[in-house]
Amino acid sequence: MNHIIPPDNLDELARKFGFGKYASLPKDNVNSTTTKPVTKTSNTGNFVIEVLADRYRLHNIMYRGELYVVDWSKDFLRGGEQHSQQEWIDLTKNEEFTLPDSPLCFASMQTLFKNKEETNLIEQVRNYFAQTFKVEGNINRPHTSSRAIYNPRGNDEVIHRLGYPDQYTVSTKLIGQDGYITTIKPENEMNTLLATQNCEEIQQVIEWISGKKPYLYRINNKPSSKEERAVVLGVDSSNYFDIADGDIDGGRPARGVVVARENSS
């Protein structure tokens, strides 16, 4: 006897096991518990949060000019181990979760902010990002896969998704004074580091997430030779949220992401 599977069941099977249009998304653990998605409407599309056993899945995140599904690991990678930026990249090159670049970090928080309402799920994910970028005890601000390169001559560079197949580079002038971004208004630098020039919106998003004002910390004068720094984001020990150049060899924890184009086939 032939058994015909209804179309709805086929779609659900494809989603669970990564077939067809779901091939680029991570396969769900069949035994994982999933809450019913909460759907909200924003100017970036149909924003959806899914809570899976080990990740928050955010739909319709505007990133690099397209809409993406972004999975954020609930836990710090490898139980919160601290490694240098390059060590983390080497450790995750062949893993499902990789390091987010700084524009993806901001795009995820920005989309959440644009859809904010007093709901338990929105607050849960907002608090997740607040805890991600909070410094406690000997835990330092987490590594991203973005690296700033200060050149002695000409433009500086920022490499995003460093060491991964989708690595890309933005050339710009990064050197300048430190300061709160709404005071010094480093629009070009913010566009390079976070993919938006809107310093007022950056402050609104980051203050909503962390309760702190964003502060740009960087090299102030041209170096005599090339200097490379890791781009790190997080609450400083003082009263601001760093958008900063950290030591590439410094040990830091990391969250992981899985990124796929929305509705990719």
Whether 244 maps to a domain, the answer reads yes
Domains contained in the chain, number: 1
* pLDDT surpassing 90 at residue 72: yes
Whether 246 maps to a domain, the answer reads yes
Whether 45 maps to a domain, the answer reads no
Whether 91 maps to a domain, the answer reads yes
Residue range 224-242, pLDDT digits in tens: 999 999 999 998 666 889 9
The CA distances from residue 167 to 17, 56, 86, 111, in Å, are 28, 24, 14, 23
What is the reported pLDDT for 135? 65
Task: Classify 126 as helix, strand or coil.
Answer: helix
Whether 55 maps to a domain, the answer reads no
What is the reported pLDDT for 116? 87
Q: CA–CA separation, 196 vs 214, rounded Å?
A: 14
* pLDDT surpassing 90 at residue 28: no
Residue range 102-150, pLDDT digits in tens: 999 999 999 999 998 867 889 999 999 999 998 665 567 899 999 999 9
pLDDT band at 40 (very low <50, low <70, confident <90, very high): low
pTM above 0.85, yes or no: no
What is the reported pLDDT for 1? 47
The region of weakest confidence among 44-48, 56-60, 155-159 is: 44-48
Whether 56 maps to a domain, the answer reads no
Whether 4 maps to a domain, the answer reads no
Which residues constitute the domain of residue 248?
A: 81-254
The CA distances from residue 152 to 82, 217, 228, 231, 258, in Å, are 31, 18, 12, 19, 35
Whether 97 maps to a domain, the answer reads yes
- The mean pLDDT value of the chain amounts to 85
